Amino acid sequence: MPLIRIVLLSVYFTLISANFIRVNNTGAENLVLILEGVGHPPSAGVLITAGNYTELITLNEWEGSFYTYPEECLNAQCNYPVSRVSVAFERWMFGGFYDFFMVDLNRGFNVPASIKSITRPDCDVISCEANLLELCPEEDQIKNDKNQTVSCRTSALNYRTFKEKCPHARVDGSELDLGICASMNYELTFG
């Protein structure tokens, strides 16, 4: 009997020491999803076709960002600024463990993005649903080799517009909105 107990305990700890993450591509274009843990290089990209999703787990206390590039970046180097969802999971605060998250447009925007808990509808939902590319001043537009605007750099010219259209996103030069929740599972959307 002691053996069985040990096995069950280890399963239990495996389950509670990870966060379940679902990432939906809600847009019309295929996207390459990248994860970048703080202090680590970006992961290899995973393609999520338009309308599709992928599921992954991160360890407890994982801190980093999720972001996407267009499919053309799957086998090519793209490193222009894009919309990010940044998280810090299981931080000890207010006498408990809480997750902190934001939609981060500090460097730039490429697609709408959001994050919310899957199991806790009472928690904060942070999103930027507007297509800020349409409002991007010419000098902040980043184009691909087909001359299509793929990203908009956040700048002194547009940060007010960004903040007005996406009031809960992080944009430098304005106040920070952090989502807070204690949940082991989140759904992110891009596109």
Ligand X SMILES: *[C@@H]1O[C@H](CO)[C@@H](O)[C@H](O)[C@H]1NC(C)=O
Residue numbers of the site for ligand X (CB under 6 A)?
24, 26, 49, 51-53, 147, 187, 189
Q: Closest CB to ligand X among 10 and 52?
A: 52
Q: CA triplet 96, 123, 181: central angle to 5 degrees?
A: 25
> Among residues 83, 42, 53, 100, which one has the least CA distance to residue 166?
83
Residue 24: left (phi > 0), alpha (psi -120 to 50), or beta? beta
Spell out the long-range contacts of 6-11 with Cβ–Cβ below 8 A and sequence spacing 24 or more. Answer: none
| Strands 18-25 and 185-190, sheet pairing | parallel
Beta carbon of residue 149, minimum distance to ligand X (angstroms, whole number): 7
Tell me the two tokens of residue 3.
């053996």
Whose Cβ is closer to ligand X: residue 90's or residue 187's? 187
CB of 133 to ligand X, least distance (A): 12
Q: Least CB distance from residue 24 to ligand X, whole Å? A: 4
Give the Cα separation of 67 and 97 in Å (integer): 25
CB of 17 to ligand X, least distance (A): 24
- Classified as helix, coil or strand, 12 is helix
Write the DSSP symbol of residue 73: G
- Cβ proximity to ligand X, 14 vs 147, nearer residue: 147
Least spacing, CB of residue 36 vs ligand X, in Å: 22
Residue number with CB closer to ligand X (49 or 60): 49
Of 55 and 164, which CB lies nearer to ligand X in the complex structure? 55
